[in-house]
Amino acid sequence: MDKKVKLKHAIVALIVTNLITAVAVSVLPIPFFGGKRIVSKVEYDFLKKYEKMFRVENIVTNSYVDKQNIDEKKMIDGAITGMVDAIGDPYTVYLDKKQFEELLTQTRGTYGGVGIVVGEKDGKLTVVAPIEGSPAEKAGIRSGDIILKVDGKEITARDIDKAVTMMRGKEGTKVVLTIYREGKGVKNYELIRDVIVLKTVKNKVLSDNIGYIRISSFDENTFKEFENAIDELQKKNIKGLVLDLRDNPGGLLEASVNIADMLLPQGTIVYTIDNNGKKEVWKSDSKNIGIPLVVLVNEGSASASEILAGAIRDFKAGTLIGTKTFGKGLVQNVIDLKDGTGVKVTIARYYTPKGECIQGKGIIPDIIYDMPKELKDKEVSIDNDPQIKKALEILKSKI
């Protein structure tokens, strides 16, 4: 053990390992400022485990030529970031103050940025979906696009949260994204950031008294918006419902589960299993809207939207139409570290009611019906959307 181990490190060890205990522990001598200090075995093991990190910090702070430029807080944050990144899961990250605040802002429903939800696919930083009405959508960025650079800086799948931070910013400021699209090549998109207000639910009555609801993502307001949309449509005596989850990147599990409860009969909506094998189950009651249902999905439907779609499929409560979904079957938890920072960590895998984990696989619809190639990169109105027309065709046969 390095004889220059500082007192503060020992104090940190005491705090981190929660050494307050009601039982006696064995003690060991540890080299300390040229002498020895008696510590508990737990504390000794902790210091031994992180000895190398302490030694490197000591070497750098005492040897670096521009010692006055050393920022100890940045070093600590860097060490924590590296420790979390070493897990190799792009969804498990340490969030600094800016990143943590931005994540909280997103779940509240408003933030400044370009309106892109990203994910990791085949080792690449991939656009899960542009947010409806955002600068990204207006510029023509699409689900499946691969982000190579942000403002000229190369970005990889391991940099998801860094990329999100770089793309967000003050309304009216500029950011340049370098995008690769299969069959189209590489293109730079110059975007002007805007205030992204997430109105996540919209509704309309289509032909033959069939209701239409589109959910663009799941945030704190989505369930209430969905309830209001259903109430509004039922007052117009709809006979069936098209639920559009295309390019829905997901969001809050609770919002997805609450909506599923309104659509499904009694039973299991979804369950998760954590690293200890603990199972947590979300269930629906017997009350539901009780009308024929068709759900539209595509490769941009991910996470919480896949939970909803998977439950509807397994219950046979509706017909899924479209293309295979994104395939994100992991659950993250955000832990507030009480100093303005946080950790987002993958805590479990989720499973559909029939026990399928769709991580990396996605959900295959009951009816595979892709958008025609000539329409894929174009804005298509609800009335002229081929997939919606297919959904209406299926619903009319059920009514």
Active-site residue, selected from the candidate residues 161, 194, 314, 385? 314
Residue 74 φ/ψ, nearest 5 degrees = -65, -35
Cα R_g (the chain), whole angstroms: 25
| C-alpha–C-alpha distance, residues 247 and 326, integer Å | 9
| 198-398: CATH number | 3.90.226.10
Supply 124's token pair. Answer: 């690449």
The fold for domain 93-108+110-196 equals Pdz3 Domain (2.30.42)
What stretch(es) of the chain map to CATH 3.90.226.10?
Answer: 198-398
Instruction: Please name the helix (run of DSSP H) or strand (run of DSSP E) that holds residue 282, with its range, or none.
Output: strand 279-284
User: Which residue in the list 159, 216, 219, 328 is annotated as catalytic?
Assistant: 328
More confident residue, 224 or 373: 224
Q: Which is nearest to 166 in space by CA: 112, 126, 217? A: 112
281 vs 112, more confident: 281
Look at residue 260 in the predicted model and tell me its pLDDT: 98
pLDDT, mean over the chain: 88
Among this protein's residues, is 328 annotated catalytic?
Answer: yes
Q: Which of these ranges, 23-27, 129-133, 219-223, has the smallest mean pLDDT?
A: 23-27
Helices 160-167 and 97-108 cross at an angle (nearest 10°) of: 80
Beta-strand pair 93-95/174-181: unpaired
Q: Percentage of the chain surpassing pLDDT 70?
A: 90
- 314 counts as catalytic: yes
For 362: left if phi > 0, alpha if psi spans -120 to 50, otherwise beta; the answer is left
Residues of the chain with CATH 2.30.42.10: 93-108+110-196
71 is catalytic: no
Token representation of residue 123: 């080792």
Q: How confident is the model at residue 157 (pLDDT cuts 50, 70, 90)?
A: confident
pLDDT given at position 30: 52
184-214: per-residue pLDDT in tens?
Answer: 999 999 999 998 877 899 999 999 999 999 9
How many CB atoms neighbour CB 279 within 10 A?
11
Report DSSP state, residue 183.
T
- The arithmetic mean of pLDDT across residues 60-67, rounded, is 90
Rounded to whole angstroms, what are the CA distances from 87 to 91, 92, 99, 257, 345? Answer: 10, 8, 19, 29, 10
Residues 6+ apart with CB under 8 A from 384: none
The pLDDT confidence band at residue 37, using thresholds 50, 70 and 90, is low
Is there a contact between 271 and 296 (Cβ–Cβ < 8 Å)? no
Residue 302, pLDDT above cutoff 70 = yes
Give which of 167, 169, 258, 247 is closest to 220, Cα–Cα.
Answer: 258
Q: How far is residue 206's CA from residue 325's CA, in Å, rounded to a whole number?
A: 25
Strands 367-368 and 319-322, sheet pairing: parallel
Strand 174-181 and strand 185-192: pairing?
Answer: antiparallel
CA distances from 79 to 54, 315, 318, 368 (A): 11, 46, 49, 47
> What local confidence, expressed as pLDDT, does residue 16 receive?
41
11 pLDDT higher than 80: no
Distance CA 259, CA 307 (A): 11
- Specify burial of residue 134 (Cβ count, 10 A radius: 0-12, 13-18, 19+): buried
* Mean pLDDT on 91-117: 84
- Indicate which residue of 301, 303, 305, 390 is catalytic: 303
How far apart are alpha carbons 341 and 241 in whole angstroms?
42
Q: Give the pLDDT mean for 35-59.
A: 82
Element (H, E) at 388: helix 386-398
pLDDT at residue number 110: 72
